[in-house]
């Protein structure tokens, strides 16, 4: 462990034991240079590409899974964000090879309605926009077209699904100038927001989302608060940013996504930890509290995107972003590019624990994807 990180972890432990009673206020963090942001992104991505030289290789954890599942698809979202600011041919080739190895397909075929499996389509469509080979978009379009034609609207019963699938609908709406994609996306989104779990998964009072029906009231965290999972809410923030990033200004229901984005973003600053991170349980720091990268990175991505697109006040949000980014660099990024403090897969604070500097999540890809998305927008903050 690097000495600065070791010192940080030691002080945190002493504070917990009551041995450090006072501390000088931390100086306001400043954004790093574009070069430093890109260096961190390049290092972490190089670690992953070196570890996975064959992007088509199946992923083995508790069982064997194909490499176009949601965890890897989120990584490719991040890789494409990195490629857009640093057009290295190796990044493009790595993404194309991934698509080709899976024949540009959806995990369970074009009749699959699972948002997790549709997530690969985000990168397929982006690669199609670069090189308009019809096979790149064929299956994901057919898959979403099947949903558009169906009356079913209850597919997204867990909030992660919003990030996995909504940008696919939005990108297809843009590509084909077809508002049916926007309408269907809104219908399924609104069902998640207002119906699933009884009254919907969004709590307008706290301006946060319950992860799924298992966590709606009266479910409570140990401290008596509602359970709002950091990464789950991060997925929703990312979904809003990624949809708004591509939707035309006159697209139907765009105002709803802007309002949702702004509401959530305003709820997050008071919940930030002094070290820049957000706890895995946003309203209960005692329930597996501590640093966690994936949710933090998604919030950084959303906030930095908001400044870059004129929705957020730079003076208010840039210090929040800087503190979080510097925290991730100092406490999560290893010298070899591995990222620590990534919570493993699951849906609540207790899953994937313990989370630490050296802990390895069951999948190393999605945490990196979130980090690259964050870095791509932090990079753009600097002139």
The 10s digit of each residue's pLDDT in 170-217 is 999 999 999 999 999 999 999 999 999 999 999 999 999 999 999 999
Sign (positive or negative) of CA dihedral 269, 274, 280, 286: negative
pLDDT tens digits for range 286-338 = 999 999 999 999 999 999 999 999 999 999 999 999 999 999 999 999 999 99
Report which secondary-structure segment, H or E, holds 316: helix 314-331
β-strand partners of 209: 202
For residue 338, what are its two tokens?
Answer: 């591995």
pTM higher than 0.85: yes
Task: Look at residue 28 in the predicted model and tell me its pLDDT.
Answer: 60
Rounded Cα distance between 175 and 144, Å, is 13
- Arithmetic mean of pLDDT, 27-40: 89
- Arithmetic mean of pLDDT, 10-31: 44
CA atoms within 13 A on the CB side of 210: 28
Average per-residue pLDDT in the chain? Answer: 93
Helix, strand, coil shares of the chain as percentages rounded to 5? 55, 5, 40
CB of 353 within 8 A of CB of 341?
A: no
How confident is residue 29, by pLDDT bands cut at 50, 70 and 90?
A: confident
Radius of gyration of the CA atoms of the chain, in A: 20
pLDDT at 163 over 80: yes
pLDDT at 77 over 70: yes
Rounded Cα distance between 210 and 220, Å, is 11
8 or 254, greater pLDDT: 254
For residue 139, what are its two tokens?
Answer: 């299956």
Contacting residues for 286 by C-beta, under 8 A, at least 6 apart: 222, 223
Distances (CA, A) of 267 to 120, 345, 377: 30, 24, 20
For residue 350, give the 3-state DSSP assignment: coil
CA dihedral (325, 205, 249, 131) in degrees, to 10, reads 50
CA atoms within 13 A on the CB side of 183: 10
Cβ-based burial of 330 (10 A; exposed 0-12, middle 13-18, buried ≥19): middle
């Amino acid at each position: 462990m690097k000495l600065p990180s070791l010192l940080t972890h030691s002080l945190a432990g002493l504070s917990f034991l009551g041995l450090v009673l006072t501390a000088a206020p931390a100086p306001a963090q400043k954004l790093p240079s574009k070069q430093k942001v890109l260096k961190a992104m390049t290092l972490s991505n190089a670690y992953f590409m070196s570890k996975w030289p064959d992007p088509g290789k199946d992923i083995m954890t508790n069982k064997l899974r194909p490499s176009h599942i949601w965890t890897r698809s989120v990584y490719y979202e991040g890789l494409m964000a990195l490629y857009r600011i640093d057009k290295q041919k190796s990044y493009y080739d790595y993404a194309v090879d991934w698509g080709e190895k899976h024949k540009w397909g959806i995990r369970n075929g074009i009749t699959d309605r699972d948002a997790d499996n549709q997530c690969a389509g985000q990168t397929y469509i982006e690669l199609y926009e670069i090189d308009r080979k019809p096979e790149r978009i064929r299956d994901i379009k057919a898959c979403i077209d099947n949903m558009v034609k169906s009356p079913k609207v209850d597919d997204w019963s867990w909030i992660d699904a919003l990030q996995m699938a909504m940008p696919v609908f939005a990108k297809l709406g843009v590509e084909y100038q077809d508002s049916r994609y926007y309408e269907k996306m809104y219908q399924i989104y609104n069902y998640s927001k207002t119906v699933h779990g009884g009254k919907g998964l969004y709590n307008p009072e706290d301006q946060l989302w319950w992860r799924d029906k298992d966590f709606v009231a009266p479910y409570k965290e140990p401290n008596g608060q509602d359970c709002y999972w950091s990464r789950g809410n991060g997925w929703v923030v990312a979904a809003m940013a990624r949809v708004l990033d591509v939707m035309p200004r006159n697209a139907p229901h765009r105002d709803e996504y802007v309002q949702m984005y702004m509401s959530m973003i305003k709820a997050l600053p008071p919940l930030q930890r002094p070290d820049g991170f957000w706890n895995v349980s946003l309203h209960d720091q005692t329930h597996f509290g501590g640093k966690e990268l994936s949710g933090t990175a998604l919030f950084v991505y959303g906030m930095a995107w908001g400044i870059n697109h004129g929705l957020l006040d730079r003076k208010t949000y840039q210090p929040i972003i800087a503190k979080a980014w510097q925290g991730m660099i100092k406490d999560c990024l290893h010298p070899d590019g591995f990222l620590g403090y990534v919570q493993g897969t699951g849906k609540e604070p207790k899953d994937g624990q313990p989370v630490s500097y050296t802990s390895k999540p069951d999948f190393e890809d999605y945490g990196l994807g979130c980090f690259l998305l964050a870095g791509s927008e932090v990079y753009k903050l600097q002139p």
